[in-house]
Amino acid sequence: MTSVGQQRPPTVLVVAGSDPGAGAGLQADLKTITALGGYALTAVTAITVQDTRRVYQVYPLSPQQVVQQMRVSLADVPIDCIKLGMLATRAIVEAVAELLAEWPAIPVVADPVLAGTAGGTLLDAGGRQAFLAALLPRIALLTPNLPEAQALTGSSVQSVGDMLRAARQLAGVQGRAVLVTGGHLVGASLTDLLWDGRAVRHYYSQRLPGTFHGTGCTLAAAIAVGVAQGKSHDEAVRVALRHLRRAMAESLPLGRGQQILNPFFHRFS
């Protein structure tokens, strides 16, 4: 219970895998949501063994363990948004989709984590099929990168035109919003594309030097905070992209591989 006169922060229930280096996954989501003034609750889907160079092992939890974590938070705390990250297996995807059907009023932002940036499969083939069939209808805003959009649609996604076709396909006829991120586009200029079922919006930026760990997780978590605050999808995406870019620009070269994003850039810059 909040004190008299104290405003409750926007709450986001994060359902994702654990990264021991805290550059991606659950830990990146926690840092991002906290940095943006939200309060994050968590449900762990898998324990990963990874660093800034690669993913070595993935140990999924059982679907029952994942759903039990979600249920206790949903029953105890008012949840403004649910953010989905790594789900690891078909069984977890199906169990999460079944639970989300019981809470249709809570918007869901999903980062369809299929593989790590430096490699490693983070959702099995059966999980991809279940994602499309069972989980996608429960999602309000989906944030695939180009390889993820290509894997989910089965079509080549190499250009901005391809991004729009993929976004429309994944949005379907249900009014779902899809943000296809353009970090894998060739060239110094990048375009991220949002299709909200009615209009397309483009967000332009210049590529920053270096390679970065946890960009997809951080972006989706930042968007989830905006959605939890009641922002429109366009406004939530704009704020999240600004936050991500600053976190990349102020990244921390702590490991021997990709740079770790710094969502608390105002403290260390």
Name the CA dihedral angle for 165, 171, 177, 178, rounded to a multiple of 10 degrees. Answer: -50
Residue 107: its pLDDT value, please? 98
Residue 269: its pLDDT value, please? 44
**Between 5 and 217, residue with greater pLDDT:** 217
Q: Name the DSSP class of 132.
A: I
Give the tokens for residue 11.
Answer: 């709450």
Residue 84: its pLDDT value, please? 98
**Between 209 and 266, residue with greater pLDDT:** 209
Residue 113: its pLDDT value, please? 85
Read off the pLDDT of each residue in 60-89 and give the average, rounded to a whole number: 97
**Rg, C-alpha atoms of the chain:** 17
In the chain, what are the domain boundaries? 11-263
CATH match of 11-263 with 3.40.1190.20: yes
Residue 2: its pLDDT value, please? 54
**pLDDT (tens digit, 9 = 90+) per residue, 38-71?**
999 999 999 999 999 999 999 999 999 999 999 9
Q: How confident is the model at residue 12 (pLDDT cuts 50, 70, 90)?
A: very high
**pLDDT (tens digit, 9 = 90+) per residue, 144-164?**
999 999 999 999 999 999 999
User: Does residue 111 sit in helix, strand or coil?
Assistant: coil
Q: Name the DSSP class of 255.
A: S
Name the CA dihedral angle for 237, 238, 243, 249, rounded to a multiple of 10 degrees. Answer: 120
